[in-house]
Amino acid sequence: MSLPEGVQRREFDGEEVLATRGEPVYGEPVVEGWRRWDASRSKLGATFAHGLDTGLSGGDGVLYLGAANGTTVSHVADFEGPTYAVEFAPRPVRDLLGVAEDRGNLFPLLKDARKPETYAHVVESGLDAIVQDVATRGQADVALANRQFLADDGRFVGAIKARSEDVTREPEAVFEDVLDRLREGYEVLSTDRLEPHHDDHLAVVATPK
C-alpha cells in the first residue's frame, strides 16, 4: 500500500511509524521536522497503519468531517491541499483555530456535519476526498449528505464507530447496517476493523456512485 506523498514511515525511538512534516500540535515527538502520527489517537492514521489503500494523494482537496480539536486534521493539512475542517462543538474549535494558525490551507468551520447546506457556500465542490470521523448516530447519512462535495472519482475515507450508532447491538451487525445505507450513494472499495488501535471501529474506503 502506497502512502500519500507527504506521509512517510520514519523511525522514532527505534520504532518505524507514520509521520508528516509540520508544526507539532498535541505534544507528539518531532524528528528532523517530521511529526510522529500516533495511530492510537487517529482513525485515519490507524487506517494507513492497517495498510488500506485510501486513494489519497498529496495535495488533494479535502473535506474533513468531525475535526474535533485538530489532532488528525493537522496531519491531513500537512500533506494535502485545501482542507475544510467541520466541527460542531465550540470548545474544540478554539483549539482547531490555533492549529490553523500554522497551516494556511486549513479552514476551520464551526458547523454541523449533518447539515451541509450550512457550509455549502464555503466548501468548494469537486473535492478529491472526504475524511469522516463523527461520533453520532446516522454516520452513513452524514456521508451521503456530504457526497455532493466529492468529485465523481473522489474518495470517501471514514471510520464507523459502532457505539455511536447503537451500544446495545454487536458491532458487526451495526457495521453491516451502516454499510448497507452507505451503498445507497457509494461503492464500498474496502473495509477493515481498527483494533487494536481503536475498539469497535471500522475503516471504510468508498467512491461515489
Say whether 143 counts as a known binding-site residue.
no
Say whether 112 counts as a known binding-site residue.
yes
Say whether 128 counts as a known binding-site residue.
no
Per the CB < 8 A criterion, the answer to whether 60 and 128 are in contact is yes
Angle formed at CA 17 by CA 23 and CA 129, multiple of 5 degrees: 65
Helix (H) or strand (E) holding 34: strand 34-36
What does the alpha-carbon distance between residue 136 and residue 114 come to, in Å, rounded to a whole number? 9
Say whether 133 counts as a known binding-site residue.
yes
Strands 186-193 and 201-208: antiparallel
Say whether 135 counts as a known binding-site residue.
yes
Say whether 113 counts as a known binding-site residue.
yes
Say whether 87 counts as a known binding-site residue.
yes
138 sits in the region (left: phi over 0; alpha: psi -120 to 50; else beta) called left
3-class DSSP state of 19: strand
What does the alpha-carbon distance between residue 145 and residue 134 come to, in Å, rounded to a whole number? 13
What does the alpha-carbon distance between residue 185 and residue 181 come to, in Å, rounded to a whole number? 8
Say whether 88 counts as a known binding-site residue.
yes
Task: Detail the residues annotated as belonging to a binding site.
Answer: 71-72, 87-88, 112-113, 133-136
For the annotated binding site for S-adenosyl-L-methionine, the residues are: 71-72, 87-88, 112-113, 133-136
